[in-house]
Structures are given as structure tokens and as C-alpha cells.
Amino acid sequence: MGCLTVAARAAGVVFATWAALVAALLLPALLPADWQYYVYSPASVGLWMLSVLVVPVFTCVAARRWIVTGRKDRRAPVGGGGPGRR
């Protein structure tokens, strides 16, 4: 795979993670107004801001196989690539 493809997949993973985090932040807006005070407390918003920085790293590590090869499964590649072969 080319470097541009790998970078595009990694950027896609990061943007998808950010979209999920923004959706998680906006979803409590559907709750009654009394609950929003507790959901949007300074501590929870601070933790959300920290998660925007930290969680994409974990998602890229979790999806590193797909980012590099484009394959979803964790099995050996087709073509006789056994253990110890790359």
C-alpha cells in the first residue's frame, strides 16, 4: 500500500472517531433540561475534550491492521503466508 492510502485510512479513522465523540456529546441534548446541567458539567466536558485527544490514538492502534493492509480479518493473507512470514 502506498503511504497516501495509509494516511487517508488513518485520517478516516480519526475523523470517524471524532464524529462518534461529537455525537456522544450532542446526544444528551435530547434529555430534559434538568438533566443537562449534570451531563454538561465542567468535569464531563473536560473529560470529553481529553477523549477527543486520546481516543483516536487507541482507535488507530485497534484498526492498525486494516489501516496498513486494507483487510478486516486477522487471518494469514491468502497466498501461503504462514506464521513468521510477512
Kindly report the backbone phi and psi dihedral angles of residue 30, in degrees, each rounded to the nearest multiple of 5, phi listed first. -80, -15
Q: Which three cell numbers stand for residue 56?
A: 483516536
How many Å apart are CA 5 and CA 32, to the nearest integer?
A: 44
pLDDT tens, the chain, 86 aa long = 588 999 999 999 999 999 999 999 999 888 888 888 888 888 988 999 999 999 999 999 999 999 998 876 656 555 555 566 55
* Residues 9/59, Cβ–Cβ less than 8 Å: no
CB atoms closer than 10 angstroms to residue 59: 17
Question: What's the whole-model pTM score?
Answer: 0.74
* Residues 35/28, Cβ–Cβ less than 8 Å: yes
